[in-house]
Structure 1
């Protein structure tokens, strides 16, 4: 008989009470760099192919770090704990070679390589390397990888693939022996390791739950790591995305082939149907790619029908424009599409007929301008709502009636030349609307008029009304649309109805919302210039196409818009082209229920909850629900196809707080006593953070750790008002809470906030051998980290000053009520600010400054880094309680903001206000006088007169003058020199 070889086993519950790694150490800056790299991949991110319209997904690398950080134990050896964690996340120095994507230039190698590495790469004479020594490709790859590992981390990742892009076996398997030795496991792959750690903690394979699953990144990444995943969301579109992540991206190779085959058959059926209608091919066999429409209205001053568009430029790269040709007999304009004759004509076309909210056109040399609001009949109603004279469309409408204020007009068509259709490189061109095009447009309208009612009865075209809301009311008010099908073009009806009729596969159905995001009258026509290459020649990259609907989180109505023809629109459904394939190891389950209705157990809950100013997904999703609620695949029929607005946790105040308490209590009730919750939270308002403290109290949870991750990349849409990062809160069930007093709590918060900030900017530097990390965090980020640190202190208490904090958390609040929690949270921000003394300023000098002076000198320090974001000024003005910070500003443009210089202050700004009467304002006046060549003794005399306690603060004045001199050196040499002179005058002045 053969000997039976028993596999080694791990001991169930041996880590039951061990603290998690994320509760003690976590390499936040490395995770931040990797998260931002993933964000910058935009459509290259793993899950965006399912639907880029869902903006709230957290980076997969962050989710991975959260899952592993929660499962791995903190052994007491921080160095090795972090090393093992980084290897499992793919962040280790040893893994650079596996991730290497781009080679280094000779200059980069010279900057970072050791002499030994230089010699190996270029030979003994490597002062001026021209080419590599002869070696195998693999040898050179390994050597370059070693050099990359010496680069600062943020520079390093630019040369690397993202961890998610590397096969798990190649990324982590080589290091499992080291991991097993450290953890006492015997795993052969990451999934086995995750299961074994789960058994050691919970007795079984770990299950990760997310009751606000949204775009699905948390359950997807948990399942990919080898956990079982439970996901739920009130929103059926979110559930579809999550189901798609698990079952389309995570489909087996066999199932993917089946999906692709079904998809090809589906697209062929739709194409044959559209072609048979004869609505997309012209008489020469060319096929339409996109149709350009505009609104048209009658000018009340001239009686002319005027097409409306903010620009008549159709293609920037080809210089194609639409030219309005007057027809005086009919008092209207023909529209001619052609290349601009010269630069002046092209520039004139860019002006359009809608300018600054006015209809503008010229008749017989006279320019007429009429506010659009007056054409629409906008006025204020009795209840404060805006009323208009627009007719509200009816359910049977699909185009304007002849007497409506706004008409819709096709004015240009983009075509694909017949000989290039279906080829990788298509040749496109634009035409005016010809008689044959008008005939095809009439055919479309006639076909829709005949079929609309039956389509709506079958659920192939929406019949759902648009409910007024924060985002949806705009469409009703500005266009008169009342039902969701009004938002789409008649051509959209034909294409999408055909798709819904022919498709039965859930995996393809998951992608229909992405298709809808590229349809409708909410798609603006976009044209961009092709970039110039190094020789100044036009390279590829020019784009003339309809934008997608949700480029931001709103329903944007346009004066001109574009509709994709069927081949162009359906291209966005193609699974093989848009969606990657990733192996999913764990099991996943998706439920379309509220967080309050949770009935499934999970060991760890990781959630990215709705915030008090959250995106209105409950409204936005109605755009998709209207199409799918009667025509969804069988796998989704049991879900509730309604946005259920009343049940959505949204807004702020009492409803927000109560909904969140109930949700987090439900999760706490459905996890074991040694379970963990991780909450990803982003907000900059102290009141909302006060709400979060009360939410966790009310749910019976305690904040064990808080980390700040810089997850967001800067974009034009976000500059000015959006935070750049996410706080990761780690929570456990609160067992035996502590009792304390406010004075004690405040002092504890002070210590905790300082420690939090020191950890954020210095954790990685205190751990050896993990790569050089630059500080990624702006001071505004550190302020928000102060909120989180305060929560960590507050939530460990059961009573404060004898008040039961759980009962206090559940008590309804009066509007504007300020309590203990809000005071402590605000104090935490103050501590954070005081802890952030500008570089080069004495803490003692800083302590003696007023709030407005701190704002001024802190922003001067930030300006030295080149940052000019207005939101930084706004955040610090709020933090330092500077009500009229704009008085101190020289420029308020969002990305060019700056402080006033001494010359710009001149003699003004002394009247009233904290800053006007400060020693700093007097100091700036003295600098201004020196720039105006006022005698030094006279300058000092004026300074003594302006500063009542001059001799008591003389040393501070000298220090501040020296500070200004250093900070302004690279930006305002004249001011810097004057400040330096003033510093010398104060230091050397004689007293008689």
Structure 2
């Protein structure tokens, strides 16, 4: 029997989740910001998982820790190391990382295994393995992912502790160049040379703007709107397609556009639309009068007020008849953003011919991820204005010149390759902002990148930023972000990075830790083509083997894409077969002394006669279990921002699930269906309560419950159905869900009589109306009365009808300390009311008051359990708004609880607490 590892027994989950959420707010010097990748796991949580995957749990060493008390003390010491490891500021603490490495050596007989990831993607897992002093192998089929991994774990370690070679860079600072600091310095220096050279060639395309006082200022961005000819033949004006009329929402400096009709004899319609800039509240956009676009229904013409249907816009786009017009030029003057009206000088500077040679490649014909093709934008080059294409192609081509300059300045061929890699990634990163599908963010007067989501949507008004300024997304900003992302890296052995399919890579020796693709959630290869075409232009001669194809290789990509694999069933079969082969290959080479770790996140969303599951989860689990793996532990890790609203009925989760696997023992027994259910009923309730205590969001609880449930299922060689057939994973998942409901329902007995009545009434009517007689019977059975609950403002009882009061309709005069009788139901509903209007700090203050009641009747854990139960009821009944409220409360619970357990501060101090992590 192999020693159990720490991850298979206990983790300081609250600390891990708190720091994982915080990390989402940190962009500067974050390795994940080096280049766009999708669905990356938190660095902090990954570091914790790898450490605990390799370190023995004290219970496995009875020779050193013979008693439970001794084991508990040692486990707390190891948890203390994890709690320090996950703090963002400690990620580069050499002493702490060395301390963690020593613990790993102690548990692996001074010979830690190689960590390999066959789905390395954004490089999080191999990077954190390297940071812990471990040898790492990263593999991915996607060239963009391979390049990201090289940039994070291969190049910084190869050139660690070397000074820069750019002329005079090393002598200008008398210092020690540690880690990748010298390499980062050279990337910034050669990047500055590239920008200067490109500006010399292109500055005539970016004329200064004239301010009201006659002075000049360099534009930061130009704001454009797409246009079409109005579908009304009697009108025929060139009408703007506007998502929003807001340019700035900065308080006290609000600016919006007001479209106006102006005579124009040169236009066939005899008129044109001009844009007045205004700060007048009387003309400000409202919800009903913001843009001219009405979602997917079409657009309203400013001139004739006629409706132009979306199909007409699409047909005009496919005919090449969509244009764009300038709304405003944005400049910076006296450290403030100023919006200038459109003028002919700025318009003419942008209306240039498109370059004859840019980038080649067509977007995938998949409307789930790509909207532009239905509007005629089929090629990736179609997503850029002519001026954006000129800038990007010029900078891309200068990457090759940098290689020559680096070798001329004494750098090796390999070093020149490294510098050009990072600068090509900066150009690729800039393309994420410098395209006609980015958006302007009026709340902060800045552009937002295209890939805010895992798709390329159609955008109607967009910013064209000046690449030669320092605004976010400019070439200067992208070079800085890329260089800062790897500057502090380079610790640990040089990692091995390769391009290979997951099936081939799964045969590597070592211990697998991986984050596989989520069935059909993300079209990695199709989306990364956007970046690939620019990286290929810059680096085709640098990495000929990596950029040998026109677009990203797709045939062997392990994603269930029905467009690529003959429909839904073909996609499912392809994905299922691929996963089984990956886990079978990994099983054949597994080290039985150390568990494998697998990250996954996919909402259960489908049901049939065999139960409820998601195809992604079902396929993943089938692939593992049928390949001989046993699940030994599962942990839900928060991977999204704490205030994020989860959309019920979508696959958007707040948590990812980490599973650990070991090869199933050859002596594993076979049981029947009844035996499995008995085992689940014996083990799941305690596991589910621990999940609830670990701050799992209600929307994630069914996914989190899969882990301990499948741990029971997977320990058996087979589970036999009554007809003798082997039980399918979907059937097992259905049994797990049944026990989850049973556990939540049994928790009703823990609540006070008032809450038990309200739960029973809510399950039947929600916040709707029911009859007095029915309510009275339920109340009497629970030893409470409707009259008392009416007085306590839990419900209203009028004219024979009874109705629970929604959180938003509760009185703001309520004082929890003055209430003669407070139930868990009341506390929960007032917490939701306060949270949704006044935020986390105010909710924490309310909970502090509730917990301070002298009678001690309020139990914070019961309030949270009640939210879990009500979420499950709301979701089952399709009461989406209710479910969102309950889920949001539990998702914010750690922050609320922290405020409640902190001595009261002044309002100013508390505000600082709320936003101290928002970087």
Aligned to 2:261: 326
Sort the Cα spacing of 1:920 and 1:926 in 2 relative to 1 into closer, same or farther, 3 A: closer
Q: 1: CA distance between counterparts of 2:433 and 2:737?
A: 43
Within the candidate set 509, 526, 530, 2:424 is matched to 509
Q: Residues 17-36 of structure 1 correspond to what in structure 2 (within 5 A)?
A: 17-36=2-21
Match of 1:46 among 18, 21, 30: 30
Distance 1:801 1:464 in 2: 51
Match of 1:344 among 274, 278, 282: 282
What is residue 759 of structure 2 aligned with on the other side? 857
Does the aligned pair in 2 maintain the 1:26–1:82 contact within 8 Å? no
Rounded Cα–Cα distance in structure 1 between residues aligned with 2:780 and 2:438: 51
CA contact (8 A) 1:324 1:333 kept: no
Q: Counterpart in 2 of 1:420?
A: none
Taking the aligned partners of 2:502 and 2:430, their CA distance within structure 1 comes to 29
Query: Secondary structure, in 3 states, of the residue corresponding to 1:300?
Result: coil
Distance 1:566 1:843, change over 3 A: closer
Q: Residue 236 of structure 2 corresponds to which residue in structure 1?
A: 303
1:661-712 superposed Cα distances (whole Å, 9 cap, x missing partner): 1111222233334342111122231423443332112222111222223333
Q: Which residue of 2 aligns with 1:226?
A: 133
Displacement of 1:560: 0.7
Contact kept? 2:241, 2:293, Cα under 8 Å:
yes
Q: How does 1:685-834 map to 2 (within 5 A)?
A: 685=604, 686-688=612-614, 689-716=617-644, 718-720=646-648, 721=650, 722-736=652-666, 737-761=668-692, 775-801=694-720, 820-834=728-742
TM score, norm. by length of structure 2:
0.70
Residue number among 294, 305, 313 corresponding to 1:368 in the alignment: 305
Measure, in 1, the Cα distance between the counterparts of 2:708 and 2:619: 15
Hey, what does 2:119 align to over in structure 1?
A: 212
Distance 1:970 1:289, change over 3 A: closer
Confirm or deny: 8 A CA contact 2:139 2:500 kept in the other structure.
yes
Mapping of residues 556-571 of structure 1, within 5 Å: 556-568=457-469, 569-571=474-476
Who is 2:339 aligned against? Answer: 430
Q: Distance in 2 between matches of 1:348 and 1:74?
A: 59
Q: Measured at CA, do residues 308 and 820 of structure 1 come closer, stay the same or move farther in structure 2, by a change above 3 Å?
A: closer
- Going from structure 1 to structure 2, the CA distance change for 1:966 and 1:507 (only over 3 Å counts) comes to closer
Q: Secondary structure at the match of 1:628?
A: helix
Distance in 2, Cα, partners of 1:32 & 1:269: 41
Corresponding residue number in structure 2 for 1:65? 48
Bigger Rg, which one: 1
Which residue is 1:167 aligned to?
Answer: 93
**Do 1:610 and 1:649's aligned partners in 2 also have CA atoms closer than 8 Å?**
yes
Change (3 A) 1:727 1:917: farther
Query: After superposition, what is the alpha-carbon deviation per residue over 1:945-966, rounded to whole angstroms, capped at 9, x for unaligned?
Result: xxxxxxxxxxxxxxxxx99976
Q: For residues 28 and 786 of structure 1, what CA distance do their matches in structure 2 show?
A: 16
Displacement after TM superposition at 1:611 (Å): 1.8
Q: Is the CA contact 1:693–1:794 (under 8 Å) kept in the aligned structure 2?
A: no
SS at match of 1:215: coil
Most deviating of 498-507 and 252-261: 252-261
1:934-949 correspondence runs (5 A): none
SS of aligned partner of 2:239: strand
- Structure 2 CA distance, aligned partners of 1:499 and 1:921? 77
User: What does residue 572 of structure 1 align with?
Assistant: 477
Q: Structure 1 residues 728 and 564, CA, compared in 2 at 3 Å: closer, same or farther?
A: same
Is this contact kept in 1: 2:264–2:272, CA < 8 A? no
- Output the CA distance in 1 between the equivalents of 2:542 and 2:704: 43
**Counterpart in the other structure of 1:466:** 363
Distance of aligned partners of 1:390 and 1:822 in 2 relative to their CA distance in 1, 3 Å threshold: same
1:218-617 superposed matches below 5 A: 218-247=125-154, 252-254=160-162, 256-277=181-202, 278-282=204-208, 286-301=217-232, 302-317=235-250, 318-330=253-265, 331-340=270-279, 342-347=280-285, 351-356=290-295, 357-363=297-303, 368-376=305-313, 388-390=314-316, 392=318, 400=320, 404=321, 406-416=322-332, 426=335, 428-442=337-351, 444-445=352-353, 448=354, 451-452=355-356, 455=357, 461-477=358-374, 479-504=375-400, 505-528=420-443, 543-568=444-469, 569-575=474-480, 578-579=484-485, 580-598=487-505, 601-617=508-524
Contact 2:770 2:801 (C-alpha < 8 Å) held by counterparts? no
Deviates more, 1:252-261 or 1:305-314: 252-261
Inter-CA distance 502–272: structure 2 relative to 1 (3 Å threshold)? closer
Give the conservation status (yes or no) of the 8 Å contact 2:639–2:654. yes
Aligned to 2:22: 37
What is the 5 A alignment of 1:876-887? none
Shift of 1:28: 2.5
CA contact 1:679–1:728 (8 Å) conserved in 2? yes
Q: Is the 8 A contact 1:229 1:589 kept in 2?
A: yes
Q: Is the 1:746–1:824 Cα contact (8 Å) retained in structure 2?
A: no
Name the Cα RMSD after superposition.
4.1
Q: Take 2:336 and 2:823, find their aligned partners in 1: how far apart are those partners?
A: 60
Displacement of 1:630: 4.0
The structural deviation recorded for 1:475 is: 0.9
Paired residue for 2:555? 646
**Conservation of the 8 A alpha-carbon contact between 1:325 and 1:336:** yes
CA distance in 2, matches of 1:286, 1:837: 66
SS in structure 1 opposite 2:555? helix
Equivalent residue number for residue 892 of structure 1: none
Q: Is the 8 A contact 2:150 2:497 kept in 1?
A: yes
| Structure 1 position 942, deviation (Å) | 11
1:487-528: CA deviation from partner (whole Å, max 9, x where unpaired): 111112111111211114113223333222112111112211
Q: Residue in 1 aligned with 2:825?
A: 967
Give the deviation of 1:243 after TM superposition: 1.8
Pick closer, same or farther for the CA change 1:836–1:45 going to 2, 3 Å.
farther
Q: Aligned partners of 2:208, 2:713: CA distance in 1, in Å?
A: 70
What whole-Å deviation, never above 9, does each CA across 1:294-320 have from its counterpart, x for those lacking one? 111222232222122133332233333
Aligned residues: 717
Cα distance in 1, alignment partners of residues 823 and 10 from structure 2: 40
In structure 2, how many angstroms separate the alpha carbons of the residues matched to 1:966 and 1:269?
A: 63
CA drift of 1:632 comes to 1.6
- 2:19 counterpart of 1:79: no
Aligned to 1:684: 603
**Is contact 1:90–1:163 with CA below 8 Å preserved after alignment?**
no
In structure 1, the gaps of 5 or more residues are 1-15, 93-156, 177-189, 377-387, 394-399, 418-424, 456-460, 529-542, 763-774, 809-818, 861-884, 889-898, 933-937, 944-961, 974-992
Per-residue deviation, 1:820: 4.1
